[in-house]
Structure 1
Amino acid sequence: MEEGRSTASAIEADSVSLSQRRSNFIYQFTQQSLPACKPVLSPVWVVSVFFVVGVIFIPVGIGCLHASRSVVEIAYRYDVECIPAPFRGNKLAYIANDFIPKNCTKHLKVPRSMKAPIYVYYQLDNYYQNHRRYVKSRSDRQLLHGLEYPDIGLCTPEDVINGLPVVPCGLVAWSMFNDTFSFFRGVHELNVNRKNIAWKSDRDHKFGKHVFPFNFQNGSLIGGARLDPNIPLSDQEDLIVWMRTSALPSFRKLYGRIEEDLDADDTISVKLLNNYNTYSFSGSKKIVLSTSSWLGGHNNFLGIAYLSIGSSFIFVAFLFLMLHIQNPRSYVDTSNISWNWKHISD
């Protein structure tokens, strides 16, 4: 019995102690008297910090720039040259006419040795995938559950065709990129691996493994690529890559990977189908072949940013050092500053 009373008393004492600490903290917070670090920045300390940061940033920038420069990239714009000469004055008539062959062959020269894997991208410019009406015209719930999810009102105007729902619905899926590429080195065709080009999280959690395309591209106006109705959406990685919309008007999306090395001065023949309509909005299309480094693809921005910031910090450090030498700081006794006072009880 006494043991129970002692336990209850201990719990009550702990509760009172916790309440007192909380009240004390609130009082110190409202009175702005909480313990805090209040450093006095001396010139030596400031110059040292600027110099150390600069010394760290410059080697990092050099490393990033070297990694970016080691990437071999070939980018080729084909949307203009792949139009037959008689139609170059009316590009829309060419792209809208299904009876005109869209086949095109171009030749790319490899400037430096490219080690596998070689990533194949298509690049679209002046294409605003971040437009509000475009981005909202989709149903993530339908992509995961298919016809089991009937609420597809946000997908308008590509929600229902001939009285039947569309899977996948919306303008994003409807406008999917549909140019195709084949690569040859001499007479040897280079295999393009188109598996695992989408994010694993998207394949596993955002696109249903038992959801199949239904009534897709059956309207009077065809937007882009067609989908195989016998393959679930989780396995149609071209669609998954396309559905991850870009925030910028110029973007690249992964098409596949060439898993063979290419030698310097090799000539690669690209046989493509120029199907996708970028002519109605003055867009452009490019095909890009690129290797990668530990930093990713070719991008000098990060290296230049580190070098610029590091150089600026070192310059500021030397500037402050010269000013300090020319006008040295007079040190005063800081023992009388209020935060250095000792408590009366001490």
Structure 2
Amino acid sequence: MAMLPGGRAGHTRSLPLLFPRRSEGQDWFIGTFSSPGTTMPPVNSNAAGPSPTQDGPADTTKKRNKPQYNQFTRQELPACKPVLTLPVTIAMIAPVGIIFILIGLGCIATSNKVVELANRYETACVPENMRNNPVAYIQNPSEDKSCTRVLKVPRDMKKPIYIYYQLDRFYQNHRRYARSRSIRQLSDPKMASADSRLCKPEATADGGPIVPCGLVAWSLFNDTYSFARGNETLEVDKRGISWRSDRNRLFGKHVYPRNFQSGGLIGGGTLDPRTPLSEQEDLMVWMRTAAMPKFRKLYGRIEVDLRAGDLIQVTVMNNYNTYSFGGRKAVVLSTAGVLGGKSTFLGRAYLAGGAACLGLALVLALLWLLVPIKEEPYLGPARR
């Protein structure tokens, strides 16, 4: 007999208790304490169903869905959990700093192996009597736009030698400029008039849609370069300078230029109306807008080795108007390394990170030596 405080002999009270079923872990039921002669079965939330002790389809399903309890599922596998004392922290940071410095030195060494020639020509290719008004010179179609630049090869350059044109102070990342295009129009000939509102003011001409429309295509770079070494002409290979995904997917094989650069204001280069957009690789390269105002874009390749001391004559057709906004132009010849072109940014970033790690490790080492920290009383007898 269960006696409760304040109760009398021979009289029992029943007290409801709430606790989970151990076999399920989810359902709750109510049981009572009563006199020994009385049996009170538990009140299950699923009273209409079979009892938990009976075998049935529901019980079989529950057993089948029951997860397997092991060290992996319980996340009880043995693990190393080091206490981050000063010596442990120093031992972790110092090797990271050394590794970063080694990687940075390797990146810089790789970049230094790349041979690069760059030559600015936006001023040199303007006649001296027109340099006070270069905009009038570049907009006058009767003026001769050709000029010759001479580049001296400082070291041996192994093929392929990549040709880039470089622009500075040209903001292709401006939102209005970057959005001024129709993606559907580039890939589908039936969508010539699609998204024309995005292409304004270069959306229509002569009563028909412009293909490709928009400011990006309208401002296509149109300076041209030809190269010679003495009496030898260096052929420029322009095949494969664009992304394969652009040729196969973004620019359609049955989409041809229409009404392009036919207005009164010409923004840049023209396109051959008989050549589909999927073969206009200069256009594909140009329409990959740059993230920074100073950028390079691939113009072509020279499949000939150049030796140290060679003089390369570059004939430039200075057609592109960068003078109206104070832009700069340059032609670049460069080889390629494991990490691409010549750039020490990645190496310097690794060196800075490695130096920071080693500096922090040195500071912690000085603290450890000069200001000892008594940690043993707080780590338990196993660490003493």
TM > 0.5? yes
Q: TM-score, normalised by structure 2?
A: 0.79
Q: Structure 1 stretches (4+) deviating beyond 6 angstroms?
A: none
From 243, 246, 263, the equivalent of 2:290 is 246
Deviation of the 1:8 alpha carbon: 5.5
Q: State the partner residue of 1:24.
A: none
Matches for 1:66-145 after TM superposition, within 5 Å: 66-145=109-188
User: How far does the alpha carbon of each residue in 1:72-102 deviate from its partner, in whole angstroms, 9 at most, with x for none?
Assistant: 1111000100001111111111000001111
Deviation of the 1:230 alpha carbon: 1.1
User: How far does the alpha carbon of each residue in 1:112-137 deviate from its partner, in whole angstroms, 9 at most, with x for none?
Assistant: 11111111000000000011111111
Per the alignment, in what secondary structure is the counterpart of residue 233 of structure 2?
strand
Matches for 1:1-20 after TM superposition, within 5 Å: 9-14=59-64, 17=66
Matches for 1:1-346 after TM superposition, within 5 Å: 9-14=59-64, 17=66, 40-151=83-194, 152-330=196-374, 331-335=376-380
- Whichever structure has more helix as a proportion of its residues is 1
Identity of aligned residues (%): 52
User: How far does the alpha carbon of each residue in 1:201-242 deviate from its partner, in whole angstroms, 9 at most, with x for none?
Assistant: 111111111111111111111111111111111111000000
Task: Supply the distance in 1 between the matched residues of 2:274 and 2:192 (Cα, whole angstroms).
Answer: 20
Deviation of the 1:59 alpha carbon: 1.0
Alpha-carbon contact 1:110-1:263 (below 8 Å) kept: yes
Alpha-carbon contact 1:147-1:167 (below 8 Å) kept: no
Q: Which has the larger radius of gyration?
A: 2
Deviation of the 1:146 alpha carbon: 2.9
For structure 1, the 5+ residue unaligned runs are 22-35, 337-346
Q: TM-score, normalised by structure 1?
A: 0.87
Per the alignment, in what secondary structure is the counterpart of residue 377 of structure 2?
coil
CA RMSD of aligned residues (A): 2.3
Q: State the partner residue of 2:7.
A: none
**Count of aligned positions:** 319
Deviation of the 1:39 alpha carbon: 5.8
Deviation of the 1:325 alpha carbon: 1.3
Alpha-carbon contact 2:108-2:344 (below 8 Å) kept: yes
For structure 2, the 5+ residue unaligned runs are 1-54, 70-78
Alpha-carbon contact 1:110-1:265 (below 8 Å) kept: yes
Q: State the partner residue of 2:35.
A: none
Counterpart residue type for residue 262 of structure 2: N
Task: Supply the distance in 2 between the matched residues of 1:7 and 1:207 (Cα, whole angstroms).
Answer: 60
Task: Supply the distance in 2 between the matched residues of 1:37 and 1:175 (Cα, whole angstroms).
Answer: 61
User: How far does the alpha carbon of each residue in 1:255-310 deviate from its partner, in whole angstroms, 9 at most, with x for none?
Assistant: 00111111111000001100000000000100000111101111011111111221
Per the alignment, in what secondary structure is the counterpart of residue 188 of structure 2?
helix
User: How far does the alpha carbon of each residue in 1:54-82 deviate from its partner, in whole angstroms, 9 at most, with x for none?
Assistant: 11111111100000111111110001000
Alpha-carbon contact 1:168-1:214 (below 8 Å) kept: yes
Alpha-carbon contact 1:146-1:167 (below 8 Å) kept: no
User: How far does the alpha carbon of each residue in 1:307-340 deviate from its partner, in whole angstroms, 9 at most, with x for none?
Assistant: 122122112212211210112221224349xxxx
Task: Supply the distance in 1 between the matched residues of 2:150 and 2:340 (Cα, whole angstroms).
Answer: 26
